[in-house]
Amino acid sequence: MPLECTDWSYINKVQPFHVNISANAKLLLDFHCHLMSSEVVGYLAGNWDFSTQTLTVKNAYPFRSRLHDAELTSLIEEEIRNTFTAKNMVLVGWYHSHPETIATPTLRDIEAQLDYEVQIKGPTVESYIPCVGIICSPYDKDKSTLDSTITCYWVLPSFENEIHDYGRPMNMHFTTKPEKSLTLDIVMALKKCVDFNKYDPDIINFKDKYKNNVTYLEKLKISLMDKFPKDDTIHRFLWNFLSEIVCIGSSGDTAKNNLQNLIAVISSRQLLLSTSSFSTSNPLIEHLESYLQSCNANKLTLEDVPTTSDCSNITSASIASSLFNDLDFSKAMSLIGLSPSRYQTDPLK
């Protein structure tokens, strides 16, 4: 049962901290949520600025947990630690989709959120880090517009004299600045979302009609547009690339050519890699960078892009190890409510 989020003004309080969500993070999570008719989950990384009381969500990390390779898992764990340390980022929240229902939290979502708040808050008041939940509803057919609804919420713990004993979901207003750049890791994360889910029975067929005469592909485009970087050329190549990987034949060119065009234009803007959120001291990322730089127009294929250095889709075990350390991770994961048959998570070896 979904519960409406309460506005702070309703309880005569001011929102306790500001929230910024990067357009890149919104782009990635909105794309991820559009792909499946079933619920998807991911994590949010960013920073907490104590002096301005501002939580900034910089990156989204789509959840991927079907890896059964312990060696690869530990490699990815190490990469995540390096990435977060190098960029001075921390876990600041999580997101999930309500594919066809409104973007308001259920009781389970409230319990899960409260559990994360407790786990992430840190040992002392000085080290406190807030944690937010985001719900993205891509296909709520009662909505009159075609963009997704993205709700950011936070749970106010219940007090003894309150009617509710589960905490109250509070609406967190957030700001988003337009993105000037697109980094390679975002491009690869978008592609990996499709790669990982493309054989699932519940993946959306983007050729199908969504509503009236609008296809799922047209609907996707409308929802993503305001999250794209404000650069017309990147905008065009990015959409060509995305439309082709979700709907073959839709862009008029191959996925390979679209990716090459996109990388070329990012490179020409001198944004390639230098602004990547990954540390250049990371050997696996260096490998990916040198690999992509060495690719020429004739030999790069989508399949050639290495998969072992993927940091953007991460395993539950990776997250557990790198972010929650010794905390009670299994409890938090069960609260997300992942179906074991769908998300087969391996315990850390």
Using CB under 5 A, list all residues that contact Zn ion: 106, 109
Identify the helix (H) or strand (E) that includes residue 61. Answer: strand 54-62
How far is 275 from 87, CA to CA, in rounded Å? 11
Q: Characterize 71-107 residue by residue with b for buried, 16 or more Cβ atoms within 10 angstroms of its Cβ, and e for exposed.
A: eebebbbbbbebbbeebebbbbbbbbbbbeeebbbbe
CB of 336 vs Zn ion, minimal distance in Å: 9
Residue 29 or 265: the one with the smaller Cβ distance to Zn ion is: 29
Q: How far is CA 15 from the centre of its chain?
A: 24
How far is 221 from 250, CA to CA, in rounded Å? 12
Rounded to a whole number, what is the distance in angstroms from the first to the last CA of the chain? Answer: 37
CB of 158 vs Zn ion, minimal distance in Å: 19
Query: In the numeric block, which tokens belong to residue 224?
Result: 């993503």
Alpha helices in 162-254 (DSSP H): 184-197, 216-224, 232-246
Query: In the numeric block, which tokens belong to residue 249?
Result: 């034949």
CB of 342 vs Zn ion, minimal distance in Å: 15
3-state SS, 21-37, equals ECHHHHHHHHHHHHHEC
CB 31 within 8 A of CB 242: yes
CB of 287 vs Zn ion, minimal distance in Å: 37
How far is 160 from 271, CA to CA, in rounded Å? 53
CB of 268 vs Zn ion, minimal distance in Å: 41
How far is 139 from 278, CA to CA, in rounded Å? 32
With CB atoms as reference, the residue minimizing the distance to Zn ion is 109
CB of 108 vs Zn ion, minimal distance in Å: 7
Residue 2 or 194: the one with the smaller Cβ distance to Zn ion is: 2
Residue 106 or 233: the one with the smaller Cβ distance to Zn ion is: 106
Residue 264 or 335: the one with the smaller Cβ distance to Zn ion is: 335
Residue 151 or 251: the one with the smaller Cβ distance to Zn ion is: 151
CB 155 within 8 A of CB 168: yes
Residue 134 or 204: the one with the smaller Cβ distance to Zn ion is: 134
Residue 48 or 154: the one with the smaller Cβ distance to Zn ion is: 154
CB of 167 vs Zn ion, minimal distance in Å: 15
Residue 30 or 109: the one with the smaller Cβ distance to Zn ion is: 109
How far is 119 from 105, CA to CA, in rounded Å? 19
CB of 109 vs Zn ion, minimal distance in Å: 4
Residue 141 or 299: the one with the smaller Cβ distance to Zn ion is: 141
Q: In 3D, which of 267, 268, 259 has the Cα closest to residue 304?
A: 259
Half-sphere exposure (Cβ direction) of 69: Cα atoms closer than 13 Å: 10
CB of 219 vs Zn ion, minimal distance in Å: 21
